[in-house]
A and B are shown apart, each in its own frame.
Chain A
Amino acid sequence: MKAGSNLEKVFESGQFAVTAEIGPPQSANPEPLTHHAKMLKGYADAFNLTDNQTAVVRLSSIASAVIIMREGVEPVIQMTCRDRNRIALQSDLLGAAALGVKNVLCLTGDHQTFGNEKGAKNVFDFDSIVELQVFDQLRTQGKQVGGEVLKDPPKTYLGCAENPFATPYEYRASRLAKKVAAGADFCQTQAIFDMDMFEKWMDEVRARGLDKKIHILAGVIPMKSAGAARYMKNKVPGMIVPDHIVDRMKSAKDAKGEGIKLCVEQIEHLKTVKGVHGVHIMAVAWEDIVPRIVEMAGLLPRPKFES
């Protein structure tokens, strides 16, 4: 065990993992986090706390993690390279570990032009792969990137994200391979709507034997409306939503219901894809729906381990 987190235990026990996302609020009020933690407890193995997602200022992911941990829920904190240099990133990793956070997801981060602080000066001292490499060295050897060796290294389970749908597609499996080499233990994919394309990517991942080296969590997004489908198809870079899905959402009488149904179908399918070790449910601003989807997808009860 690298960190002994619940998520790590699920993966190591060979069971199909479930993670979900909780977006920290745009306020100093911890209430929404507590509310979601209470509501989602027992429906997923760990919960992702986004790090100022889309460069919108939100309650910090480490603080959010601590808040949900009080409710007995395991966090995965996201750490982007956009706002912190190597000093801050390493420091925050130590801080998070000290607070009991065991899962860290390394991300480069969305550019600030997408958010609400467009005038910000970005950092990008690292990219996600360097971040993984540095964190891996820090946890295994206790060695900082600058060379200094720390007494008590953090025990952290390291994750990464990968998008099979971003161009150039040929680069995508290589990116995952690099992340594996850099020390990632698990990987969350971008939301999958185009199953054929995802499977093609997985073919390549398997051909390279990467599925044996990293636990892949397939990303899914339940959609509330046809508008959401269209938005993701047209506006979100690096996301592919096939026409048949947009059409299906459009022609549905109960769009929400259809969205849930679609999501469950997708999870059912993903369970059959060799090398997929779990799903990651990104119910953006619709966290309440997660229990229902998990239940409908037959993923309950979630495994429990002696601590």
Chain B
Amino acid sequence: MIVAKRKPLNEIAEMLAPYKKVTVIGCRSCVAICLAGGEKEVKMLVSALKVKNKRDGRKQHIEGTVVERQCEKEWVQEIEAQILDSDVTLSMACSLGAQTIGDMYPKHLTFPGLNTGMFGVPEEQGVWSEKCVGCGNCIIHTTGGICPIARCAKSMLNGPCGGSANRKCEVNLEVDCAWAAIYDRLKLQNRLDLIESVTPAKDWSTSHSGGRRVFEREDAKLTPHQKKGKGVT
């Protein structure tokens, strides 16, 4: 899932300072699960900002609300009035949610309350770790199910670098070397032959490197006839 982290509150307060009426919008999907932008965080943020305003003697109306999935127009539409009634919206969703609101209401100001971090796995309560960078061309069937692109600091394709010591990454000694883990996994699976074959240069055109990506499925898309409102006449 998408893992995000709340921006430092002083940064948020500064962003919002010039505006009289603020709506804070959370999201019940990924960011709720990663404890960054669900209803609880929204309510606490609203309250914390109010305490700060009280201290600074600033008059600012702040209210919070939450939508099911902020990255989808239909859910955002439900709170349209609340959004447009404010001077600025602080999105407590990932950047996708913030951009959805921004795209829907281009004149309206929408600011990010979170820093969107990564595709992460909730390893345990309160710990999320990056395991995919969305390169668009998955190879983990050849690497024991462990992604070296995301889990190796150098995204190496052909085994561990020379900096690996005690099976830890040279960049962060707390982090396991991805290739040590791959080795163990392949050994366990009796597939160590794979470590001998040279993986050639990766085609990055499927990743963000190839430009912004849009995935489409023709069979899933609604035809103009099916669309409500602005269909064909």
Contact = CB atoms under 8 A, between A and B. Distances in A.
A–B direct contact (CB < 8 Å): yes
Interface of A: 111-113, 118-122
10 contacts: A111-B211, A112-B209, A113-B210, A118-B203, A118-B205, A118-B210, A119-B201, A119-B202, A119-B204, A121-B209
Interface string B42-84: 0000000000000000000000000000000000000000000
Interface in B172-230: 201-205, 207, 209-211
Q: Is the interface of A mostly helix, strand, loop or mixed?
A: loop
Contacts of B201: 119
Contacts of B204: 119-122
A57 B206 CA distance: 21
Contacts of A111: 211
A119 B205 contact: yes
Nearest to B207: A121
Contacts of A121: 202, 204, 207, 209
Nearest to A111: B211
Contacts of A120: 204, 209
Interface in B58-117: none
Contacts, number: 21
A55 to B, nearest CB: 12
Contacts of B202: 119, 121
A120 B211 CA distance: 11
Contacts of B210: 113, 118
Nearest to A123: B209
Interchain residue pairs A-B with the least CB separation, the first 10: A119-B203, A121-B204, A121-B209, A122-B209, A119-B205, A118-B205, A119-B204, A120-B204, A113-B211, A113-B210
Nearest to B206: A119
Nearest to A112: B209
Contacts of B211: 111, 113
Nearest to B204: A121
Contacts of B207: 121
A113 B210 CA distance: 7
Contacts of B203: 118-119
Contacts of A122: 204, 209
Nearest to B200: A119
Give the one of A111, A118, A119, A120 with max B CB within 10 A: A119
B191 to A, nearest CB: 26
A299 B199 CA distance: 55
A269 to B, nearest CB: 37
A57 to B, nearest CB: 13
A122 B201 CA distance: 13
B139 to A, nearest CB: 14
A121 B149 CA distance: 12
Give the one of A111, A118, A120, A121 with max B CB within 10 A: A121
A113 B203 CA distance: 12
